[in-house]
Amino acid sequence: RRAPPSQARRAEVVFKLMDGYLKNDSVSLQKAILDHVEFTVARSRFSFDDFEAYQALSHSVRDRLIERWHDTHQYVKRKDPKRVYFLSLEFLMGRSLSNSIINLGIKDQCVEALSQLGFELEVLAEQEGDAALGNGGLARLSACIMDSLATLDFPAWGYGLRYQYGLFRQVILDGFQHEQPDYWLNFGNPWEIERVHISYPVKFYGTVEEEIVDGKKFKIWVPGETVEAVAYDNPIPGYGTRNTINLRLWAAKPSDQYDMESFNTGDYINAVINRQKAETISSVLYPDDRSYQGKELRLKQQYFFVSASLQDIVRRFKDLHTNFQEFPDKVALQLNDTHPSLMIAELMRVLVDEEHLDWNEAWGIVGKAFSFTTHIVVLEGLEKIPVDLLGSLLPRHLQIIYDINFLFVEDLKKRFGSDYDRLSRMSIVEEGPVKNVRMANLSIVSSHTVNGVSQVHSQILKTKVFKDFYELWPEKFQHKTNGVTQRRWIVGSNPGLCGLITKWLGTEAWIRNVDLLLGLRQHAANPELQEEWRMIRRVNKKRLADYIEAMSGVKVCIDAMFDVQVKRIHEYKRQLLNVLSIIHRYDCIKNMKKGDRRKVVSRVCLIGGKAAPGYEIAKKIIKLVHVVAEKINNDPDIGDLLKLVFIPDYNVSVAELVVPGSDLSQHISTAGHEASGTSSMKFLMNGCLLLATADGSTLEIIEEIGEDNLFVFGAKLHEVPSLRDKARDFEVPRQFARVVRMVREGYFGFGDYFESLCDSIEGNGGDFYLLGNDFMSYLEAQAAADKTFVDQERWTQMSILSAAGSGRFSTDRTVGEYAEKTWGITPCKCP
Ligand code: CR1
């Protein structure tokens, strides 16, 4: 074989052939699209449909992303700054085409290139399926954070899992939720790059033995099973910058060493089938966003993710460094909730068992590398792993966790003596009939910082959930209020509003510097802006109304107030409270004299969201929405005064349609239960008014835009415990009792089926989420919203002030704070 050409010789050839970067004018794009139709999609240039055009366009865009992505890598590698690794088991990316085109700044050119070929960008964008590799808030936050990290030029990587099945599709049959698999890769995914050469073995099971190296004893883990983790890279472009970072997702493949034994028995076919089982590790996303307790496959996913990511990170570090003391100067490891927290034990194992550092040295490095964010408010939500399960799957890690805990508890004893209650609360290992590892305790003990996702959430962590830890290490506790990216949530999903904002601010700079939105405040009362603002909102409402009609058959009037609650279905989020108030509204209209109906403000109530497949009560709430909707929408007496529609299969791209088209959006969790909430921020940015409880990030929204500019109601955080204590003496308001009775007694049908649902808010000692308690103040807030809606000038002013005050809720601000206060990284802008 001939020797490969030298690097220099190759570079000469490459430069001769290249006439620079790919060009972004419309003719070059057109040529690229046609080339991809012919050679990538393998259809004829002279005949291809919308989907094929989408594929070809996507590949043309992807080529441009890859150039920038290569440049960014090379540049960052040369500069070798400290990088942050954002570790998350979930990323809810949604669609990529429009977002990439916007961030690359080539939208106009693409529109032009396509129009001559007879295609429309908007139509092609609809061809793309959502990448739904996550459940809800936590996962969408990860996606928004990636956009901001790229835009702000931070040297950052995202790591996650490439599930073959994303979050289930919600199909409604006869008003009931059914789950269908989301095999999202069926038609290929142009946004990922398979890196067959980047793969790592990941080990499971086996035993721990000892080896002696240079006279010293070391532990060595002899695995029972090995699978291969293969990298799939997803370039994430920044807006208004060349920087394009990487989201690396791992897929499981059988390893050459996987189960060789079964081949020796001669049953070749079954041995192959067995091997294939390795792939199940990354095959499906767990659809329950709050409990995974005790599932072996889930634990396998976590470790698979952790092990592959850390091998990759360590390899990158070792490319340029030999001394592990420098590791924390180059690497910040961000734990997105406890899901990736096994990486703590894994890093200890790598440093001690493989790199042969001594324990204390390794522990010092771990403590400087990790930071931990929790997204949970209630103690019961925290993740625990049964010791038995952990010990069998990851024997060495269990030993390490025990050792970390032993040293930690010894330390505690020195400080707190024999305060055994405290020690047992703080211990990483929970004693009891089933011994568990408390992943949050492990994360706090091992990280240099811990934070909640809103001000009040962080306060609750300090005073309740992690009180003991706060008393021990007050300096570790920080707060970082969540955000959302205005690139997707205004520029992408609401182009009309984007243009209007730019016109009135006289600059596009707000797309990178969102604080500039404050400049809208001074125009909020300007009738000219108000008029244009309303026009744009109307166009969005029309688009949403068309969608509603297409999917539900219900025709809605766009003069009505579009009142929306879209999010995962949970008792604490209180969709049930919303439905009950809709029943109340219906009941009131029915009992009104005909003449009084003229005063009623028409409403279109939209509710959407998925229920975890095993969450009975949540599923009943979905059914209730449907039966109530059926009754109201078909009541000729009601007409356009009230409509109720369930939006099925709520996901990122549905949100992009719903958010810009709604007038009022509801965020009505019982105070103290929503860690932050992020959809409220999207609605706010789009000039939608909020109807909300004083919970999570709403408190900061109130601070920012003023209480007069949204509708707030309900029990306050400090009142909740005593209200619960006094629940038995609470006299349920007549109106509340009446609507619950209507449900119970079968006014909408299915009375028996809804009995347990009614019991959950009325039964003995029930109503934990205080629906009855908040009902009257909720109705008052609803009435206030009605009253304001009639005064369109006032409403529009509030709408403008909402958008103007939304700058603080951009992930650009969130990420900037993490970079400075938690990760210690600075921008590294690719020239
Ligand atoms: C919280 O419930 C928060 C997001 C993002 C959620 C929500 O209030 O806005 O995280 N938690 O921080 C979650 O999804 C699995 O936990």
Q: Mind listing the pLDDT tens digit for each residue in 142-182?
A: 999 999 999 999 999 999 999 999 999 999 999 999 999 99
Residues sharing a CB contact under 8 Å with residue 589, sequence separation 6 or more, in sequence order: 597, 600, 637, 638, 641, 642
pLDDT value at 1 more than 60: no
Q: Check which CATH number belongs to the domain holding 655 and give it.
A: 3.40.50.2000
* Cα–Cα distance measured from residue 605 to residue 607, given in angstroms and rounded to the nearest whole number: 7
Query: Is residue 393 assigned to a domain?
Result: no
Same domain, 454 and 553: no
Which band of pLDDT confidence, cut at 50, 70 and 90, is reported for residue 14? confident
Which of 151, 226, 678, 814 is flagged as catalytic? Answer: 678
712 lines ligand 1 (CB under 6 A): no
Angstrom distance (rounded) from CA 830 to CA 827: 9
Contacts with 48 (C-beta within 8 Å, 6 or more apart), sequence order:
37, 41, 56
Give per-residue pLDDT as tens, 106-144: 999 999 999 999 999 999 999 999 999 999 999 999 999
Per the domain annotation, does 589 fall within a domain? yes
Which atom from ligand 1 is nearest to the alpha carbon of 141? 5
Beta carbon of 675 within 6 Å of any ligand 1 atom: yes
Radius of gyration of the chain (CA): 28
With a 6 Å cutoff on the Cβ, whether 377 touches ligand 1 is no
Is 520 inside any structural domain?
no
Quick one: 575 and 652 in the same domain?
A: yes
Q: How far apart are CA 119 and CA 635, in angstroms?
A: 42
Burial (CB count <10 Å: 0-12, 13-18, 19+), residue 74: exposed
Same domain, 43 and 101: yes
Q: Where do we find the tokens 């003391």?
A: 325
Asked whether 134 lines ligand 1 (CB < 6 A), one says no
- H/E stretch holding 208: strand 207-213
Report the alpha-carbon distance of residue 714 to residue 649 in Å, rounded. 29
Give catalytic status of residue 573 as yes or no: yes
CA atoms within 13 A on the CB side of 568: 23
Strands 664-667 and 689-693: parallel
Ligand 1 center to residue 373 CA distance, Å?
11
Cα–ligand 1 centroid distance for 134 (angstroms): 12
Q: What is the number of alpha carbons within 13 Å of residue 383 lying toward its C-beta?
A: 24
Active site residue 36: no
State the residue range of the domain holding 580. Answer: 540-808
Residues sharing a CB contact under 8 Å with residue 3, sequence separation 6 or more, in sequence order: none
User: Does the annotation count 682 as an active-site position?
Assistant: yes
Could you tell me the sign of the dihedral formed by the alpha carbons of 46, 51, 52, 55, in that order? positive
Nearest ligand 1 atom to the CA of 677 is 9
* CB-CB contact of 522 with 538 (8 Å): no
Tell me the pLDDT of the chain averaged across its residues. Answer: 96
Q: Is there a single domain that holds both residue 211 and residue 325?
A: yes
In this structure, are 464 and 546 located in the same domain? no
Nearest to 585 by CA among 609, 560, 610: 560
Tokens of 586: 């219906």
Mean pLDDT of 433-448: 97
How many Cβ atoms are within 10 Å of 476's Cβ, its own excluded?
18
Could you confirm whether 375 is annotated as catalytic?
A: yes
Task: Indicate whether 214 and 330 sit together in one domain.
Answer: yes
Q: Which two three-digit tokens encode residue 58?
A: 């996507």
**765: confidence class by pLDDT, cuts 50, 70, 90:** low
The 10s digit of each residue's pLDDT in 291-328 is 877 799 999 999 999 999 999 999 999 999 999 999 99
Give the integer Cα–Cα distance in Å for 263 and 536. Answer: 66
Q: Are 703 and 481 in contact (CB under 8 A)?
A: no
Q: Model confidence at 2, in pLDDT bands (50, 70, 90)?
A: low
pLDDT in tens, 343-363: 999 999 999 999 999 999 999
164 and 308 both lie in a single domain: yes
Structure tokens at 325: 């003391």
User: At 603, is the secondary structure helix, strand, or coil?
Assistant: strand
Q: Is 390 in the pocket of ligand 1 (CB under 6 A)?
A: no
Q: Determine, yes or no, domain membership for 498.
A: no
Mutate to test the pocket of ligand 1, among 90, 142, 375, 455 (most ligand atoms within 8 A of CB): 375
pLDDT (mean) for 637-655: 97
Roughly what angle, to the nearest 10 degrees, separates helices 734-744 and 575-590? 100
Which is catalytic among the residues 36, 59, 396, 682? 682
pLDDT of residue 763: 67
ipTM of the complex: 0.99
Pocket test for ligand 1, best of 144, 286, 451, 453 (most atoms within 8 A of CB): 453
Whether 423 contacts 432, CB under 8 Å: no
Our mutation pick for probing the ligand 1 site, out of 88, 89, 90, 138, counting the most ligand atoms within 8 A of Cβ, is 138
Q: Are residues 165 and 119 in the same domain?
A: no
Say if CB 774 and CB 693 are below 8 A apart: yes
Q: Is residue 185 part of a domain?
A: yes
The residue whose C-alpha atom lies closest to atom 10 belonging to ligand 1 is 138
User: Does residue 101 register a pLDDT over 90?
Assistant: yes
3-class secondary structure, 384: strand
Q: Which of 607, 596, 608, 601 is nearest to 642 (CA)?
A: 601
At residue 529, the pLDDT reads: 98
User: pLDDT tens, 459-503?
Assistant: 999 999 999 999 999 999 999 999 999 999 999 999 999 999 999
Say how many Å lie between the CA of residue 675 and the centre of ligand 1: 6
Helix residue ranges per DSSP H, 420-485: 420-426, 439-446, 455-460, 467-472
- Choosing from 676, 697, 700 the residue with most ligand 1 atoms within 8 A of its CB, the one to mutate for a pocket test is 676
Other residues' Cβ atoms within 10 Å of the Cβ of residue 77: 12
Q: What are phi and psi of 397, to 5 degrees?
A: -65, -35
Residues 119, 209 share a domain: no
Is 290 contained in some domain? yes
Query: And the tokens for 197?
Result: 């050469």
Concatenating the DSSP letter of every residue in 233-244 gives EEEEEPTTSS-E
- 815 Rama class: left (phi>0) / alpha (psi -120 to 50) / beta: alpha
Q: Are residues 630 and 585 in the same domain?
A: yes
Contact 386, 298 (CB under 8 A): no
Known catalytic residue: 413? no
Ligand 1: distance of its center to the CA of 339 in Å? 13
Q: What letter does residue 375 receive in the DSSP assignment?
A: -
How far apart, in Å, do the first and last CA atoms of the chain sit? Answer: 40
Expressed in angstroms and rounded, the spacing between residue 567 Cα and the centre of ligand 1 is 11
Burial class of residue 418, CB neighbours in 10 A (0-12, 13-18, 19+): exposed
Which position among 349, 568, 623, 643 bears the catalytic label? 568
Most confident of 13-22, 372-381, 789-798: 789-798
Judge contact between 263 and 257, C-beta under 8 A.
Answer: no
Task: Find the catalytic residue in 62, 275, 567, 574.
Answer: 567
pLDDT for res 259: 66
The H-or-E segment that residue 277 falls in is none
> What's the total number of domains in the chain?
3
Distance 374 CA to ligand 1 centre (A): 8
Distance from residue 665's CA to the centre of ligand 1 (Å): 18
The verdict on 459 and 371 lying in the same domain is yes
819 part of a folded domain:
no
Distance CA 25, CA 560 (A): 43
* Pair (222, 140) in one structural domain: yes
The token duo for 145 is: 């954070």
Tokens of 75: 């540049």
Residue 137 CA: nearest ligand 1 atom is: 4
Backbone dihedral region of 788: left (phi > 0), alpha (psi from -120 to 50 degrees) or beta?
Answer: alpha
The answer to the question of residue 499 being in a domain is: no
